[in-house]
Structures are given as C-alpha cells and as structure tokens.
Amino acid sequence: SIEDIGSTSMGLDIVDLQLVTKKNLLYTKYDVEAQPQFNSYMDTIMDNMGTLSLSKSIIRAVLKNLAFDFKLTLPIDLIGDNNAAVDEGRTLTWNVTLGDTEPIKMQVYVPNVWNIVIVLIILVVVIIAAILFFFRKRKHRKVNRA
C-alpha cells in the first residue's frame, strides 16, 4: 500500500512523502506528493565511489545530471491530476534527475467496492418495489372499474 513505501527504503530517507486521504461514499481519493531527497545523499554516493582521478565538483556535476524515468503502472485507470511527463492511461512516467527539486504529484481514485455493491442492491430493490407498486395499483384500478 501507499503507507508501506517508507518501510521498504531500508532506513534511507530518500523520499519525503505526503499523503492526504479523502474518503467518499463510492471512492477514496489519495493525493500523493513525493519529494525525492537525492541531494542529501550526494556526498555519500561520492564517498562510496572510491578514489577517482576526477575532482569532486566534476563528479557532483555529473551526478546532478544523471537522470532516470520513474514509471508507475496501476491495475486500472484511476489516475486524476498529476505532474507526470507522460500520462498513458494506467501508466505515468516522470523524468527525474539526481539534482531535481520538483516533487512527484498525483491523485489516485480507489473505488469502494462494497459501498458500490450496496448502493446497486438498494437501487435494484427500489426499482423492483416501484414496478410492483405500479402494477398492483394498475391492477387495483382495473378491478374497481369492473
């Protein structure tokens, strides 16, 4: 789940995650904002690279320009507003660099299946009751006229 993202980062604070949940009768809306914290680990990355003949400023400049595409594919198309570079239905793609300060933002709408089923059952019962009431009233009028 979205709440478990922090527990899988092996103790590294690489993402500042803000999650706002808004429940509705038929769905739950999740506003997700993830701010990558790659800059705070730049020195650690450089220390782990070992001894290179390049200066630290050159290595830092190269690392800040390293980029990758972060793709997120959901089981069904439930995506609302987002700031992804590419939005292809169920798949969102963000272009992220190690020096990037822009957060990843998206909204996801998750249907509340049980509430939808309950509402549909209630609607079917009301429609059947209305049809039965209509036919009984019509039959009662015919009997009174005869």
Mind listing the pLDDT tens digit of every residue in the chain (146 residues)? 555 555 555 555 677 888 999 999 999 999 989 888 777 767 677 776 666 677 777 777 777 777 888 898 888 787 788 888 888 888 889 888 877 778 888 888 889 999 999 999 999 999 999 999 998 887 777 766 65
Block residue for tokens 């996801």: 108
- Which of 78, 145, 73, 63 is CA-nearest to residue 112? 78
Phi-psi region of 77 (alpha: psi -120 to 50; beta: other; left: phi over 0): beta
**Cα Rg of the chain (Å, integer):** 27
Are the beta carbons of 92 and 124 closer than 8 angstroms? Answer: no
DSSP lists the bridge partners of residue 79 as 108
* pTM score of the predicted model: 0.65
Can you tell me the distance from the alpha carbon of 69 to that of 84, in angstroms, rounded to the nearest whole number? 10
